[in-house]
């Protein structure tokens, strides 16, 4: 069963290993565990619903609790403390586009606010109801999860918008196909959510981001249904798919999604290479991207992330042996782990592997074979569970991300890390900060930073510390040529920094679009656009 107050399935537990706890204690001090609230306690606090009974709507208290918060750090703290703030008044479970249209009509008739809800994995405050006079209806797409059509000649699949990662892949794989979209939230996030928040999967290098995969579909709006037909390419004016991608529930509800799929590859494998320094590693990864070596995935950890990963990995004896071997081959202190994947036919993969190895060797890379790559593939969706292990040990962990041009990657990364590392210095607190690059392009790269800090003595303190850190890093991003989000979207948490990126005219255009599709401002108010 899905956790009501954290990440993922209750059956999966990832503890912080003892040497990992010692590593963190050494870096930022001993953990400070806080007490968690119980579900019963929270259920007792849910106010009566302001909605009338309706066949498509659940007013069940636990269902309302389970759809009240996403997965951002403020969400996490609210759920653990049991102080949820606002709950939706009800959760609707439509099964057809027609029922979505009926719910839109109901929202007008009863003067409701509507929040489209995919998997609820937002990490930017997208799906939280806000206090207000109007009743809030969350619209869960979870029952619209089927593969509706597969055009095997054109490689286009039509899905209900609520299909989660596993539902998408299992239905396609049964027919010999894959979407190839694997965000780390894959277990729970949905096709509609990926489109609405412009998601990027771990193997975007081969399959593309959702922008490349989203071929068309239907958007249900207060102004009517907008159908986006599929074309291999078109010069017929601006592409309306761009209005839907990143619309974050503000313009309408995506009721059908058509995606470009691929035949399952013959073979796939992942490898790890250790680069002797960050400078050499950056040159190596940039060269791989710009030479268009056909890899399916690339991830470069900086030296601190490499050290942290090895410390948290378990098996200290084996890690010590690995470190000894790497040091002998020239990758000692300051080394950076680079993981890459090849996906395709055996012949293609052999050629790609050869090209990647040769290129990385020219920058001093030490190839370690498939063992660490296999571990990465096995654990690729397990890392988020570690938030629980860290929390129990008394540490708070959050991540943030951006993208910028290659000429600015090193500068921006350094400034983000510095803003976080020194962010709590006035309170005498240290913050453990590390980064990787995981979506690389010919022109630049995403930057994904993780930070771990101590919560202080209370939930209020933990949240205040997060606010300080998040604001400092977001200011750095906005003023140093970074996008406020490469893959998590805007939501409410990033909305204050969107004008710096879009400019006044761009913001006015977005507001006009929102008013066009939703004249009374009923859909997800405050998300994407603050007003």
Ligand X SMILES: Cc1cc2nc3c(=O)[nH]c(=O)nc-3n(C[C@H](O)[C@H](O)[C@H](O)COP(=O)(O)OP(=O)(O)OC[C@H]3O[C@@H](n4cnc5c(N)ncnc54)[C@H](O)[C@@H]3O)c2cc1C
Residues at the contact surface with ligand X, assessed by CB under 6 A: 7, 70-71, 115-123, 126-127, 141, 161, 183-185, 189-190, 192-194, 196-197, 199-200, 248-249, 253-254, 384, 487-489, 524, 527
Q: Whose Cβ is closer to ligand X: residue 249's or residue 456's?
A: 249
Q: Whose Cβ is closer to ligand X: residue 73's or residue 261's?
A: 73
Q: For the chain, state the CA radius of gyration.
A: 23
Q: Whose Cβ is closer to ligand X: residue 189's or residue 309's?
A: 189
CA distances from 274 to 142, 283, 415, 505 (A): 42, 13, 24, 46
User: Min. distance of Cβ 448 from ligand X in angstroms?
Assistant: 9
Three-state DSSP state, 433 = strand
User: Can you tell me which residue has the tokens 């991300």?
Assistant: 401
CA distances from 230 to 156, 202, 227 (A): 9, 25, 10
Q: Whose Cβ is closer to ligand X: residue 197's or residue 349's?
A: 197
User: Min. distance of Cβ 26 from ligand X in angstroms?
Assistant: 26
User: Min. distance of Cβ 220 from ligand X in angstroms?
Assistant: 8
3-state secondary structure 393-410: CCCEEEEEEEEEEHHHHH
User: Min. distance of Cβ 324 from ligand X in angstroms?
Assistant: 33
CA distance 128 to 272: 39
- CA 142 to chain CA centroid, nearest Å: 19
Whether the CB-CB separation of 310 and 323 falls below 8 Å is answered with yes
Which residues does residue 84 pair with via DSSP β-bridges, in sequence order?
none
User: Min. distance of Cβ 162 from ligand X in angstroms?
Assistant: 7
Q: Whose Cβ is closer to ligand X: residue 82's or residue 217's?
A: 217
User: Min. distance of Cβ 461 from ligand X in angstroms?
Assistant: 23
Q: What is the number of the residue whose Cβ is closest to ligand X?
A: 193
3-state secondary structure 238-273: CCCHHHHCCCCCCCCEEEEEEEECEECCCEEEEEEE
Q: Whose Cβ is closer to ligand X: residue 161's or residue 373's?
A: 161
User: Min. distance of Cβ 399 from ligand X in angstroms?
Assistant: 8
Q: Whose Cβ is closer to ligand X: residue 141's or residue 413's?
A: 141
Which residues does residue 178 pair with via DSSP β-bridges, in sequence order?
262
């Amino acid at each position: 069963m899905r956790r009501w107050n954290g990440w993922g399935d209750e059956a999966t537990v990832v503890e912080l290993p003892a040497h990992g706890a010692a590593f963190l204690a050494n870096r930022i001090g001993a953990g400070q565990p806080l007490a968690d609230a119980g579900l019963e306690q929270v259920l007792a606090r849910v106010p009566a619903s302001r909605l009338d009974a309706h066949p498509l709507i659940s007013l069940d208290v636990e269902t309302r609790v389970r759809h009240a918060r996403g997965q951002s750090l403020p969400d996490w703290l609210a759920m653990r403390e049991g102080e949820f703030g606002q709950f939706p008044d009800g959760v609707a479970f439509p099964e057809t586009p027609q029922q979505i249209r009926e719910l839109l009509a109901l929202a007008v008739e009863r003067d409701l606010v509507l929040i489209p809800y995919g998997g609820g994995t937002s990490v930017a405050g997208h799906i939280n109801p806000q206090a207000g006079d109007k009743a809030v209806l969350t619209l869960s797409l979870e029952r619209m999860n089927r593969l509706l059509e597969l055009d095997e000649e054109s490689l286009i699949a039509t899905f209900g918008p609520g299909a989660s990662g596993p539902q998408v892949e299992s239905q396609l794989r049964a027919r010999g196909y894959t979407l190839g979209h694997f965000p780390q939230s894959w277990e729970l996030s949905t096709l509609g959510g990926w489109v609405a928040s412009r998601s990027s999967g771990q193997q975007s290098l081969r399959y593309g981001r959702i922008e490349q995969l989203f071929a068309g579909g239907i958007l249900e709006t207060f102004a009517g249904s907008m159908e986006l037909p599929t074309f291999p390419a078109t010069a017929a004016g601006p592409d309306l798919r761009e209005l839907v991608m990143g619309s974050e529930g503000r313009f309408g509800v995506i009721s059908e999604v058509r995606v470009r799929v691929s035949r399952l590859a013959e073979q796939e494998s992942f490898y790890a290479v250790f680069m002797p320094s960050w400078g050499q590693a950056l040159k190596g990864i940039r060269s791989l991207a710009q030479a268009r070596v056909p890899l399916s995935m690339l991830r470069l950890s900086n030296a601190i992330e490499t050290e942290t990963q090895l410390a948290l990995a378990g098996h200290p004896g084996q890690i010590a042996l690995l470190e000894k071997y790497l040091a002998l081959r020239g990758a000692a202190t300051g080394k950076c782990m680079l993981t890459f994947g090849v996906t395709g036919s055996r012949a293609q993969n052999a050629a790609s592997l050869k090209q990647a190895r040769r290129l990385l060797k020219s920058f001093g890379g030490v190839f370690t074979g498939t063992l660490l790559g296999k571990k990465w593939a096995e654990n690729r969706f397990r890392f988020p569970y570690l938030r629980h292990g860290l929390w129990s040990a008394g540490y708070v962990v959050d991540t943030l991300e951006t993208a910028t041009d290659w000429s600015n990657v090193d500068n921006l990364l350094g400034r983000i890390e510095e803003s976080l590392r020194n962010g709590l210095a006035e309170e005498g607190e240290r913050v453990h900060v590390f980064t990787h690059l995981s979506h690389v392009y010919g022109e630049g790269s995403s930057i994904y930073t993780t930070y771990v800090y101590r919560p202080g003595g209370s939930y209020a303190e933990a949240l205040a510390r997060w606010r300080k850190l998040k604001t400092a890093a977001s200011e750095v991003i906005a003023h140093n040529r970074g996008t406020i989000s490469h893959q998590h979207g805007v939501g409410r948490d990033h909305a204050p920094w969107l004008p710096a990126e879009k400019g006044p005219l761009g913001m006015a255009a977005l507001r006009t679009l929102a008013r066009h599709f939703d004249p009374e401002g009923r859909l997800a108010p405050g998300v994407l656009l603050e007003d």
